[in-house]
Each structure stands twice: as C-alpha cells, then as structure tokens.
Amino acid sequence: MHKHLTCECGHVIHADSDEEMVRQAQEHMRTVHRKSMTRDDVLKMAKEAKH
Ligand SMILES: [Zn+2]
Ligand SMILES: [Zn+2]
C-alpha cells in the first residue's frame, strides 16, 4: 500500500507503509518547519496513492 501526504508547503511525502509515512512526515515537519506532528495527525492526512 503506497501513500502520499501533501504538506502545507507543497512537499509530497511518499511511503510504502504507515511506519515509514509517520517517520518521514515527522522528520519533514521537524527539520523543515520546526513543528511536531502526532502519529494520528500524520495518518489522518495521508492518502492512498496508485503508483
Ligand atoms: Zn512542508
Ligand atoms: Zn508516491
């Protein structure tokens, strides 16, 4: 299952599992925006993608 999460800045995060999505999204938010995001927030924003 592949998922995408489009950040408010337009950056698209691609991940093949929830674990990877949470890890990458949290890393992006921390390093780029200096914000934290909970696992629930990440998974709520992530959408299934076809490729
Ligand atoms: Zn961003
Ligand atoms: Zn993708």
Cα 1 to ligand 1 centre (Å): 22
Tokens 């890890």, residue located:
23
Q: What is the pLDDT of residue 30?
A: 98
Residues 6+ apart with CB under 8 A from 47: 3, 4, 5
d(CA 28, CA 33) in angstroms, rounded, equals: 7
Residues 1-40 pLDDT 10s: 999 999 999 999 999 999 999 999 999 999 999 999 999 9
Q: Ligand 1 center to residue 17 CA distance, Å?
A: 19
Ligand 2 mean position to 35 CA, how many Å?
A: 23
In the chain, domain spans:
2-49
Task: Give me the count of residues in the chain.
Answer: 51
Closest ligand to residue 50's CA: 2
User: What is the Å distance from ligand 1's center to 14 Cα?
Assistant: 13
What integer pLDDT is reported at residue 42 of this predicted model? 98
Non-local (6+) Cβ contacts of 32 within 8 A are: 7, 9, 11
What is the identity of the amino acid at 37?
A: M
